Homo-oligomer: A and B are copies of this chain.
Amino acid sequence: MTTLASEPATTPREARVEFRTEPSRYRHWRLTFDGPVATLTMDVDENGGLVPGYELKLNSYDLGVDIELYDAVQRLRFEHPEVRTVVLTGGKEKVFCAGANIRMLAASEHAWKVNFCKFTNETRNGIEDATANSGQTYIAACNGTASGGGYELALACEHIMLVDDRSSTVSLPELPLLGVLPGTGGLTRVSDKRHVRRDLADYFSTKAEGIGGAKAVRWRLVDEVVPRTAWAATVRERAAAFAERSPRPADARGIGLPPLDKTRTDDRVAYRYVDAVLDRDRSTVEITVLGPEEDAPADASGVHARGADFWTLAMTRELDDLILDLRTNETSLGTWVLRTRGDAKRVLAHDALLLDNARDWLANEIVLYLKRTFKRLDVTSRSLIALIEPGSCFAGSLLEPALAADRSFQLAGVFEEVDPDADPAAITVGPMNLGPLPMGNGLTRLATRFFGDPESLTAAESARGGPLAAADAERLGLVTFAPDDIDWDEEVRIAIEERTGFSPDALTGLEANYRFTGPETLETKIFGRLTAWQNWIFDRPNASGPDGALRKYGTGRRADFDRKRV
């Protein structure tokens, strides 16, 4: 069996994972439409694994299957505004979905497993976001057993239906069978979303065969069980009922999401508005986001007319793809340096256009997508350093990356030797920073930054509208440091070099704690508490060692556990 464990520091081109896809290329999903109801049918190609070495039996999935799901969820939002209910169902007999492929997990190295879980988590959060904020409600129509990640996928849906046939169940068999936890939010959603009582949840999560029928409803594990004879009609009925409640406009016309224009080499990832230079010597990626090249259109119709070319959407798609590419393919580049370049006023004008038309479905979708993409930054296990220089446009939506960063530097004044006449580096707080782009904890990045310090928050929010020079931004606490031309190079160099010298694991833990000050939500509990425990368990010999449960699964031999409780 080919193993992923020998992945070298630089992923060879042919092994790089590519996140761009489109329905005509799907191998694992079918997307069909019936008026306001779309059906997303999982029908995994056993031989379509992303990496050789395993067969995707029983509708089990790997990263490749989830990349297609993510693409489908995105396209439903942008290309199919008429869709109000999405029915997620299975295309196999007896089984809805068996969850993440176990042989794939067993053969994967630790970083791969963790990154895979992160992406699948984000996709499931996106499903919940579509239900909550886009008027596209997801229903899980489990026409067979939903186990492990299969049940976790159902848990991300608003309504879970299970066929009542005396054999189909929902289950989380990871603990009893594999010695690990469900990896994509299962425990948190069972308790904090569906409110299954903690002792029943505990019992359920230790019972490999799962629970079906009336008990599954009584314990709140599913919303209803339906006999096979009534299945198709009941699914249709529920889909229609949820569609009825959606505020989506009936006559909206979607916009196409054409393939991103991307140039990818060993040392560069370049798109139209986003550029990343991979500096392997310094274990660093230098990312630059360009502001709009033209003025914002006059009204919402201009947003529709530009479609995928509208700057905010185009830039967000590129940034999204870059984050996923770097996370998956460039694990050894531990520090991302974030810059912007362009006209701050144009950024703010694009922001204003979107927010002034918040009731327009497309404007709404673009802002939600921006929100989800910046949330990816928050849970990215890379150190983020923002550099605010003359010519940059850290304003409104593009100020968010600087607020997401672990540290930011704003040049006091200009680079005398580069352009003594340049406008000094500035940042601008705008309406986008005051609510529309919350973090997973439910707060804006500003409110998280000033958590427990309401006066500073008010001061920062009150400074909105105009450009803030380094001294003001530093005084307001909006940037970490504001060195001048003389100190800039040295201070920035030390910050980046230092970061590269620290333990990558300790940095991941540090950032995961400090980035989420304040209240916790379902989402932060999944990425904070649950993921951290899962990472620990994944890395323990009892799971991943030669005699661990993940390795022994399917061999007919039992895992040999170190029984010590930690």
Give bound CA distance, A506 to B503, whole Å: 25
Chain B contacts for A333, CB-based, 8 A:
565
When all copies of this chain in the complex are counted, the total is 2
- Chain A positions 476-501 with a Cβ under 8 Å from a chain B Cβ: 477, 480, 498-500
A187 engages B513 (CB within 8 Å): yes
Give bound CA distance, A480 to B198, whole Å: 10
Chain B contacts for A206, CB-based, 8 A:
498-499, 502, 510
A interface residue count range (under 10 / 10 to 19 / 20 to 34 / 35 or more) = 35 or more
A505 engages B540 (CB within 8 Å): yes
* A197 proximal to B (CB < 8 A): yes
Distance to closest chain B CB from A31 (angstroms): 33
Give bound CA distance, A383 to B192, whole Å: 21
Interface 1/0 per residue, A441-484 and B, CB below 8 Å: 00000001111110000000000000000000000010010000
Give bound CA distance, A111 to B499, whole Å: 29
Chain B contacts for A317, CB-based, 8 A:
none
* A129 proximal to B (CB < 8 A): no
Give bound CA distance, A170 to B56, whole Å: 54
Chain B contacts for A561, CB-based, 8 A:
503-504
Give bound CA distance, A525 to B525, whole Å: 10
Known: A175-B503, A206-B502, A508-B533. 13 other contacts (CB 8 A): A176-B502, A181-B513, A191-B513, A192-B518, A197-B477, A198-B406, A198-B515, A198-B517, A199-B407, A206-B510, A508-B565, A528-B529, A535-B536
Interface residues of A (CB under 8 A from B): 9, 110-111, 114-115, 174-176, 179-181, 187-188, 191-192, 195, 197-203, 205-206, 283, 331-334, 381-382, 405-408, 448-453, 477, 480, 498-500, 502-520, 525, 528-530, 532-537, 539-540, 542-543, 549, 559, 561-566
Cross-chain pairs A/B with CB under 8 angstroms, 10 sampled = A195-B451, A199-B406, A199-B407, A202-B511, A504-B566, A505-B537, A508-B537, A513-B530, A519-B520, A520-B525
